[in-house]
Amino acid sequence: MDEHDLPRTKGDAASKLASEDLAPYSQDELAHRIALLEAEIARVQSHSESAAKHRAAADALFKGSPS
């Protein structure tokens, strides 16, 4: 069975990060964490835009075909 076929676990990574206590982290560690999170946001946005373009292309293809 492919891992994509498995059900998603409850509580995604973002919600786990949001509930983590940040008090033990130093300023440098927090800056590093921010940089990692910003890179992840950019990756997710890029994937979302790509998926939207793919969906628009599929919609255009199937709307143009006779029923």
57: in domain: yes
Q: Is residue 33 part of a domain?
A: yes
Calpha distance 38→64 (Å, rounded): 39
Q: Is the pLDDT of residue 1 over 60?
A: no
Task: Provide the pLDDT for residue 65.
Answer: 56
Residue 56 within any structural domain of the chain: yes
* Backbone torsion region of residue 55, taken as left when φ is above 0, otherwise alpha when ψ lies between -120 and 50, otherwise beta: alpha
Structural domain tally of the chain?
Answer: 1
- Confidence bin at 4 (pLDDT 50/70/90): low
Q: Classify residue 10: in a domain, yes or no.
A: no
12 in a structural domain: no
Which domain range does residue 46 map to? 26-67
pLDDT for residue 66 is more than 80: no
